[in-house]
Structure 1
Amino acid sequence: MDELDTPVLDNHLHLDPEHGQGMDAVRDFERLGGTHLLVVNKPSWHLGPVPSEQGDFRRAFEATLDAVADANEILPGKAWPVLGVHPGLISHLLDEGYSPEEARDLMQSGLDLAAEYVDDGHALALKTGRPHYEVSDAVWDASNAVLKHGLELGAEHDCAVQLHTEGTDDLTEVAEWAEARGLPAENVVKHYAGGELAGPTPSVMSEKERLLTAAEAGEPFLMETDFVDDPDRPGAVLGPKTVPRRVRWLLAEGHDDAVATAHVETPKDVYGIDTEATLDRDE
């Protein structure tokens, strides 16, 4: 297969070397032309018991750092960890008997721990959000408090914040929350986005229709698969080969500028990473 003359970044995927494909997924990504990864920790309840104290989040964070270190032995570019607390955890905590307020406090403490990894240079960005499914007003309010705390931490630690939210093309209000806390809206990234989004930067699911919309809009965007690396859900979301395949397709369709936007310019503007300077295909 012809070598791609561009960095290729998957902005949001998960790796689980213990239970899933792990480095085989990274090798598949690399063989198709992938160069860079942002690896998001799997939800904490996938890797052990539902957390009951702040330190319980560390297992998922450390597993992600280990996976990133292994991926960096394979990639011609670089992988970075994104650490945080999945918003769906609140429902698991409620099932364990927590009140929404107690769940909020525990989840915020998990974000505080993730921010320590950012502060010491071991993680690139944070992950937070709110449920994408129907919840009570009390749970919605608690979830928004967790989200806002994540935005505050992003501002405090000068890092980007990835969001898992409901499906929408308008998160203007969330962008305003970020700006009010000192975090530029462009440094807030909606994972699993469509081709256009008001407010934060969209991380577009790498389906052709969504990517065409993003390419034609001409606005900053990223590309992702949300690969879950779960053997119990082998067909869930998109596979690790998808982003490099879609980059080849975009280039064939004449969308060179969109590829540069998604894989060079937007990563630099949002995360401060240089996907060209960190790429060495000769290694």
Structure 2
Amino acid sequence: MDELETPVLDNHLHLDPEHGQGMDAVRDFVRLGGTHLLVVNKPSWHLGPVPSERADFRTAFEATVEAVADANEILPGRAWPVLGVHPGLISHLVDEGYEPAEARDLMQSGLDLAAEYVANGRALALKTGRPHYEVSDAVWDASNAVLQHGLELGAEYDCAVQLHTEGTDDLTEVAEWAEERGLAAEKVVKHYAGGELAGPTPSVMSEKDRLRVAAEAGEPFLMETDFVDDPDRPGAVLGPKTVPRRVRWLLEAGHDDAVDRAHVETPESVYGIDTVGTLDPRE
């Protein structure tokens, strides 16, 4: 297989060396031409009990930081942690008897802890959002308050914020919330996005139909798999080989400019990372 002469970044995946494929997934990614990763912590309840205090979020954060350190020994480029609180946590907390406002406060404290990792250079960006499924008005309002808190932290610590939200091609309201808090809309990233998105930067799921739209739109975008690294869910969502395969497919279709946007220009403008300068020269 011909080598790819471009950085290849998967903008959103999970690594679980203790329970899942871990570094074997990273090796698969590299073998197909992958170079850089943004590794998002798995939901906290996947790595222990449902959190009941701020310190409980540290387990998932430390596991992610450690996985990134191991991945950096394998990648020709590098990996960075993205830390935060999965919006689905609010449902777990409410099921355990928390009032939505109490769940909001706990989740915001988890984001505060994640921001400390950004502040000391141990994480690149934050993750927050709101449920992608039907919830009560009280839970929806509490979730939006958590999301807005994440945007405030992004502005305070000058970092990007990845969002897990409902499926939509219009998040202009959320982009306005970011701008009102001093965070540029382009530094807000919708994970699991389609090919076009009004408001934040789309992190496009690496399916051909979505990528074709993104490539032809001519706008900034990122590519991701949302690989979950869960032995109980093999194949979910997309495998770690997918982004490099799709980059090869885009190049074969003549979308060189789109590949450059997704893997060089947009990572620089959104996260301030240099995917070219952090790429080791290949022998």
For the criterion TM > 0.5, the same-fold answer is yes
Which amino acid in 2 is paired with 1:181? R
Pairwise mapping of residues 92-131 of structure 1 onto structure 2 (< 5 A)?
A: 92-131=92-131
Aligned residue pairs total: 283
Q: 1:235 Cα shift?
A: 2.0
Residue equivalent to 1:226: 226
**Match status 1:26 vs 2:26:** yes
Residue equivalent to 1:45: 45
Which digits, 9 at most, give the CA deviation of each residue in 1:136-184, with x for residues without a partner?
A: 0000000000000000000000000000000000000000000000000
Residue equivalent to 2:178: 178
Unaligned runs of 5+ in 1: none
Which amino acid in 2 is paired with 1:81? P
Q: State the alpha-carbon separation in 2 of the partners of residues 32 and 237 from structure 1.
A: 18
Matched residue SS, 2:56: helix
Pairwise mapping of residues 49-198 of structure 1 onto structure 2 (< 5 A)?
A: 49-198=49-198
Matched residue SS, 2:174: helix
Q: State the alpha-carbon separation in 2 of the partners of residues 245 and 148 from structure 1.
A: 35
Unaligned runs of 5+ in 2: none
Q: State the alpha-carbon separation in 2 of the partners of residues 129 and 23 from structure 1.
A: 28
TM-score (norm 2): 0.99
Which amino acid in 1 is paired with 2:69? A
Matched residue SS, 1:202: strand
TM-score (norm 1): 0.99
Residue equivalent to 2:9: 9
The percent identity for this pair of structures is 89
Q: State the alpha-carbon separation in 2 of the partners of residues 164 and 157 from structure 1.
A: 20
Q: 1:236 Cα shift?
A: 1.3
Task: From the superposition, tell whether residues 243 and 14 of structure 1 become closer, same or farther in structure 2 (CA, over 3 Å).
Answer: same
Matched residue SS, 1:26: helix
Q: How big is the alpha-carbon RMSD for the aligned residues of Structure 1 and Structure 2?
A: 0.6
Q: State the alpha-carbon separation in 1 of the partners of residues 171 and 62 from structure 2.
A: 31
Q: State the alpha-carbon separation in 2 of the partners of residues 31 and 240 from structure 1.
A: 10
Which amino acid in 1 is paired with 2:175? A
Q: State the alpha-carbon separation in 2 of the partners of residues 73 and 120 from structure 1.
A: 21
Q: State the alpha-carbon separation in 1 of the partners of residues 177 and 282 from structure 2.
A: 44
Residue equivalent to 1:214: 214
Q: 1:110 Cα shift?
A: 0.0
Residue equivalent to 1:200: 200
Residue equivalent to 1:269: 269
Q: 1:281 Cα shift?
A: 3.7
Q: 1:95 Cα shift?
A: 1.1
Which amino acid in 2 is paired with 1:70? D
